[in-house]
Amino acid sequence: IDDPVSLSEIAPTILRAAGVAPPDVMKGRDLLEMVRLKPDTTETGVAAGRDSGGRDSGRRDSGRRDSGSVPLQPDLYSETEYPRVAGWSPLQALTDGRWMAIRAGASTEVYDLQNDPREEHDASLAQPAVAAAMASRAEALHASATTSQAHSLSADAAERLRALGYVAGTLQPAPASGARNPATMIATWNDFEAALSALTAHVPDAVGALRRLASANPGAPVLQATYARALKEAGQVQAALAIYRQAARRWPADATLLHDLAVSARDAANGAHGTTARAMRDEARRTDQAALALDPNSAIAHNGLGLLAIDDDQPGEAVKAFERAAAIDPNNAWYWTNLGNARRATGDRGGAEQAFRRALDVDARAADAANGLGVLLVEAHRAAEAAPWFERAIGAAPDLVEARLNLGIALQQSGQVARAAEAYRAVLAARGGHDREKQAAATLLAALASAR
């Protein structure tokens, strides 16, 4: 097929090719008919669909001709909301084959595809009637979709958010007045991607580059959140919390942002003591609960609540949260591993083993799951069987010092004293803190020496 087609036509075509009748909501044509038959230039109708960057609302063919009596192709419409993450205007695009209109907020660019196929010269000033007509059609298509989508919070969700200290009236607020056209902000986005690459590569001043971008673009959720994450990873947890809190007040309906705030608050709690730690954990819990009020199927927020329950020594509550996370996203090995650890803490050894094995089915290199299976075997007095699991965990994650300590214990209990001593020495030689593991290794190594 040489002519442009709509994404909304792909799914019904596949269904028909498989001998399945498409549901009534699928209005797209059968593209196989375009191969078998000469295209019908009088076809009319509008189909709707969606792509990963926004929406492809299909085609409209009214049999129109331009002023030169050139037959126009069916209208093809698409839009993207993605620029919102940077605080910029969403985009809508409409083409009839001759003209391409790109709408960003109140502005519309028009390109003459016949004479300017590379879309290098905006003809909106020279063709104001075309610009106005196409902008009007694009707005109508956009409005027809947005009115059918739920952008308002339910009364229950809004009340739960208020009870948790957050106020939001809509899931997706309207773009800010004067939101920039993404086409004018390409340099800023390139700078952002460069800063991200520098952060990943641990380049000096990567955090500084993100700070400058966040400061220059206070209305960009993705820049604020990324700067906060960079601060947290650099060990500046309190500074990260301040940025996350400010962002959450500005965008209280962003469930992902709220969860990121919860993670940062939990990290702060783990580095604090007494009432300060309890306050931080309470903030983390309330924030993840707010994220779930917005998105009840947020697996990562359920997982966050499970981790907080473990921190509060409530393994039963943790099991419920991790089970929910794993049910929502069964392909995440971390959720299964966390569930295994929580079940083990409640005494459900069989359930723990099942969860650890599910984690390894998802990811054969899930080191914590392999370590968990080894611990279960040691507790069952099957140390010789446990050792290979700890070795597997170390092979997948050489820095998992806990697995090295457990390997030493398994080897010692199975009578392999020399290898056990070697494992304990590896723990003592590990870089970083690991105070608990190193103290245990030193004690066990000393006991081995005194027993000789």
Q: Residue 364 pairs with which residues in a beta bridge? A: none
Distance between CA 34 and CA 16 in Å, rounded? 13
The predicted structure's pLDDT at residue 76: 84
pTM score above 0.85: no
Neighbours of 182 (CB within 10 A): 19
Q: Which amino acid is at 382?
A: R
What are residue 57's phi and psi, to 5 degrees?
-90, 20
∠ Cα 254 260 262 (to 5°): 105
| Residue whose structure tokens are 């960057």 | 53
Distance between CA 374 and CA 36 in Å, rounded? 61
Instruction: Name every residue whose Cβ is closer than 8 Å to that of residue 198 and which is 6 or more positions away in sequence.
Output: 205, 206, 209
Distance between CA 423 and CA 433 in Å, rounded? 17
Helix (H) or strand (E) holding 76: strand 75-80
Quick check: 356 and 372 in contact, CB under 8 A? yes
The predicted structure's pLDDT at residue 371: 98
The predicted structure's pLDDT at residue 3: 65
Distance between CA 181 and CA 12 in Å, rounded? 34
Distance between CA 199 and CA 291 in Å, rounded? 27
Buried b (16+ CB within 10 A) or exposed e, 354-365: ebbebbbebbee
Among residues 103, 104, 129, 126, the alpha carbon closest in space to that of 115 is found at 126
Q: Which amino acid is at 195?
A: A
| Residue whose structure tokens are 């597997």 | 392
The predicted structure's pLDDT at residue 24: 83
Distance between CA 380 and CA 384 in Å, rounded? 11
Q: Which amino acid is at 215?
A: S
Q: Which option is the CATH number for 365-452: 1.25.40.10, 3.30.2030.30, 3.10.20.30, 3.30.70.100?
A: 1.25.40.10
Q: Given the DSSP bridges, would you call strands 91-95 and 99-104 parallel, antiparallel or unpaired?
A: antiparallel
Phi-psi map region of 431: left, alpha, beta (phi>0 left; psi -120 to 50 alpha)? beta
Gap between the terminal Cα atoms of the chain: 81
Supply 255's token pair: 């469930």
The predicted structure's pLDDT at residue 174: 59
Task: List, run by run, the mean pLDDT of 10-residue segments along the chain (452 residues).
Answer: 72 89 83 63 41 46 45 75 92 92 92 94 95 92 66 70 66 67 94 95 93 95 96 94 94 92 95 94 95 95 98 97 98 98 98 98 98 98 97 97 98 96 96 93 92 68
246 CB burial (10 A radius; 0-12, 13-18, 19+):
middle
The predicted structure's pLDDT at residue 143: 82
DSSP reduced 3-state for 63: coil
Would 161-166+185-296 and 365-452 be classified into the same CATH topology? yes
Instruction: Name every residue whose Cβ is closer than 8 Å to that of residue 287 and which is 6 or more positions away in sequence.
Output: 164, 248, 258, 259, 261, 262, 265
Domain ranges of the chain: 7-146, 161-166+185-296, 365-452
The predicted structure's pLDDT at residue 30: 82
Instruction: Please provide the DSSP assignment of 333-372 as one string.
Output: HHHHHHHHHHHHHHT-HHHHHHHHHHHHHH-TT-HHHHHH
Superfamily of domain 161-166+185-296: Tetratricopeptide repeat domain (1.25.40.10)
Neighbours of 388 (CB within 10 A): 15
